Amino acid sequence: MADSQTAPLEPITAADGTPLKKKLAQALFRSRVRAVSLVVPLFAFVMASFVIPIFALMWQGVYNDRFSSHMPNLTEQLTMWDGLTEPNEIMYGALVADLTTARANRTIGRVATRVNQEYPGTRSLFTSTARKAKKLKPPFKESVIKTNKKWDNIEVWQAMKITSQDLTPGFYATALDGRYTVDQGFVRQDENRQIYVKLFWRTMLISATVMGLCLLLGYPVAYLLATLPLRTSNLLMIMVLLPFWTSLLVRTTAWIAILQSQGVINDLMVYIGITADDARFSLIYNMTGTIIAMTHILLPFMILPLYSVMKTIPPSYMRAARSLGATPTMAFIKVYMPQTIPGIGAGGLLVFILAIGYYITPALVGGQDGQLISNMIAYHMQKSLNWSLAAALGGILLAGVLVLYWAYDKVIGIDNMKLG
């Protein structure tokens, strides 16, 4: 033993004299190159169509150079300004110079929109002053304020200072019902404009409810699927998958027909006499409608992972538990259910994450209190065109999902997840 420890270790060599480790690395490298080259097309596609756009959009959530790129002179002055003292003549001069160029380049609209996001009610201030900027004479402070008194308001200048910073936490602040100010840092948004935090919570609540309902409804179905004889379970499987093959829009509008106040369910209840004709239930265009329709649409995403897990649990476990003296109920709870946890976890996570980003269904059947944060993101993407705010909202949503994923990994373990 002592000998082998003290003797210098000769590297093992292959038949041609090269060290074995190097030879092995070469062989592995070749197979690795082959494997990688198979993935390259998909990888390139995903990068180009998914990863890069997502990062570009995320970047927009914290980076916006509309103001600085179109108002370079003023940006320079605003950077030096402390944000509290009265704006000086040089700053007004830079303002007039930049407004004149922006007007000539027809970029004044973009600048005005950007500042308006930060300080509402100032869009026309910029466009109208820009029209007159060419004719303004020094001293600029006096002549600018003469065109519009608002230029004397320091808050306008503070808003410009905020927007002149390319890298800004302002959009995230807005997305969390806050405001980023020059003098006080982060402050709460005015109470009558606070909406996003509430929507985030509502999104979480609805997603959790949908997940719970899917689990409640899907578990027995998955159990039947996994335990019934093949012919029956195949039929049942088709029934589970049938809605899956129908367009999302069709299914959602079908719910409108069923749930509306003159719809199938309400007519039936009035007919049976459960409710009076003038006191029909409002089942749609509210949170109830959103939850019902989303539960139905997301149900297969719960059933399929559950089924794939249950399929692998041999019936002998239940038999063993019963032969050991457990009642059927106890055997089910103590022996069967714990083994389906990977399926519950996978289905739950899948449904929750899908629900969090759900957009079409709440938009169609959500009414006012069934709207989710995704509808707000769509609004800022399509209507208000405040993409940076949409990106910030999306970024927070993404962060929320990642936190959940992390928590899931901690509690259950991601290796335990089984999707199919």
Partner 1 sequence: MVQANDPFVSFKGVQKSYDGETLVVKNLNLDIASGEFLTMLGPSGSGKTTCLMMLAGFETATHGDIELGGRPINNIPPHKRGIGMVFQNYALFPHMTVGENLAFPLKVRNMPTAEVEDKVRAVLDMVQMLAFIDRKPAQLSGGQQQRIALARALVFNPELVLMDEPLGALDKQLREHMQYEIKHIHENLGVTVVYVTHDQSEALTMSNRIAVFDDGIIQQLADPVTLYEKPENAFVAQFIGENNQLHGTVQSVSKNIATVKLDAGDVVKALAVNVGAVGSRTTLSVRPERCVVTAKKSAGTSSLDARIEELIYLGDHIRCRMSVAGDDQFIVKVPNTSGQLGLEIGALSQIGWKNDDCRALDFKEPI
Partner 2 sequence: MFNAKNAEGQSFEMVWDGQIYDLDLWVIPKGSKNKEAALDFVAFSTATEQLAAQASWISYGPARASSEARIGTFHSDDSINMAVHMPTAAGNFKNALQNDFEFWADNADQLNERFNAWLSK
**What 3-state class would DSSP assign to 207?**
helix
Work out what residue 124 binds among partner 2, partner 1, none; the CB cut-off runs from 5 to 8 Å by kind: partner 2
Confirm or reject binding of residue 129 to partner 2 (CB under 8 A).
no
Which residue of 192, 247, 262, 382 would you call a contact of partner 2, by CB under 8 A? 192
Cβ proximity to partner 1, 324 vs 411, nearer residue: 324
Nearest to 218 by CA among 251, 240, 247: 240
CA gap 410, 392 in Å, rounded: 27
Rounded to a whole number of angstroms, the minimum distance from the CB of residue 98 to partner 2 is 20
Cβ proximity to partner 2, 102 vs 240, nearer residue: 102
Span of 98-106, 197-205, 215-223, 252-260 interacting with partner 2 by CB under 8 A: 197-205
Q: Which two tokens stand for residue 348?
A: 């739950």
CB atoms within 10 A of CB 243: 15
Q: Are 419 and 308 a contacting pair, CB within 8 Å?
A: yes
Confirm or reject binding of residue 181 to partner 2 (CB under 8 A).
no
Q: Which two tokens stand for residue 175?
A: 């997305």
Confirm or reject binding of residue 75 to partner 2 (CB under 8 A).
no
Work out what residue 319 binds among partner 1, partner 2, none; the CB cut-off runs from 5 to 8 Å by kind: partner 1
Cβ proximity to partner 2, 294 vs 335, nearer residue: 294
Rounded to a whole number of angstroms, the minimum distance from the CB of residue 291 to partner 2 is 16
Cβ proximity to partner 2, 112 vs 226, nearer residue: 112
CA gap 61, 56 in Å, rounded: 9
Confirm or reject binding of residue 316 to partner 2 (CB under 8 A).
no
Cβ proximity to partner 1, 61 vs 305, nearer residue: 305
Residues that bind partner 1 (CB under 8 A): 314, 316-317, 319-328, 330-331, 334-335, 338-339, 341
Work out what residue 353 binds among partner 1, partner 2, none; the CB cut-off runs from 5 to 8 Å by kind: none
Q: Which two tokens stand for residue 237?
A: 């499987």
Cβ proximity to partner 2, 125 vs 392, nearer residue: 125
Q: Are 293 and 361 a contacting pair, CB within 8 Å?
A: yes
From the CA atom positions of the chain, what is the Rg in Å?
A: 31
Cβ proximity to partner 1, 276 vs 411, nearer residue: 411
Confirm or reject binding of residue 114 to partner 2 (CB under 8 A).
no
Which residue of 210, 376, 377, 397 would you call a contact of partner 2, by CB under 8 A? 376
Confirm or reject binding of residue 388 to partner 2 (CB under 8 A).
no
Confirm or reject binding of residue 66 to partner 2 (CB under 8 A).
no
Confirm or reject binding of residue 368 to partner 2 (CB under 8 A).
yes
**For the residues of 41-89, what is the DSSP string, one character each?**
HHHHHHIIIIIHHHHHHHHHHHB--HHHHH-HHHHHHHHHS-SSSPP-H
Confirm or reject binding of residue 117 to partner 2 (CB under 8 A).
yes
**For the residues of 346-384, what is the DSSP string, one character each?**
HHHHHHHHHHHT--HHHHHH-TTTT--HHHHHHHHHHTS
**Which residues contact residue 142 at a Cβ distance below 8 angstroms, ignoring those fewer than 6 apart?**
none
Work out what residue 121 binds among partner 2, partner 1, none; the CB cut-off runs from 5 to 8 Å by kind: partner 2
CA gap 51, 32 in Å, rounded: 24
Rounded to a whole number of angstroms, the minimum distance from the CB of residue 308 to partner 1 is 16
Q: Are 372 and 203 a contacting pair, CB within 8 Å?
A: yes
Which residue of 70, 141, 179, 202 would you call a contact of partner 2, by CB under 8 A? 202
- Peptide bond before residue 139 is cis, with ω within 30 degrees of 0: yes
Span of 122-130, 157-165, 336-344, 355-363 interacting with partner 2 by CB under 8 A: 122-130
Based on the number of CB atoms within 10 Å of its own CB, is 32 exposed (0-12), middle (13-18) or buried (19 or more)?
exposed
Cβ proximity to partner 2, 194 vs 339, nearer residue: 194
Confirm or reject binding of residue 116 to partner 2 (CB under 8 A).
yes
Q: Give CB contacts under 8 A, 24+ apart, made by 123-126.
A: 125/150, 125/151, 125/156, 126/99
Cβ proximity to partner 1, 223 vs 244, nearer residue: 223
Q: Which helix (DSSP H) or strand (DSSP E) does residue 100 occupy?
A: helix 89-104
Work out what residue 194 binds among partner 2, partner 1, none; the CB cut-off runs from 5 to 8 Å by kind: partner 2
Contact residues for partner 2, defined by CB under 8 A? 116-117, 120-125, 192-195, 198-199, 202, 368-369, 371, 376, 379, 384, 386
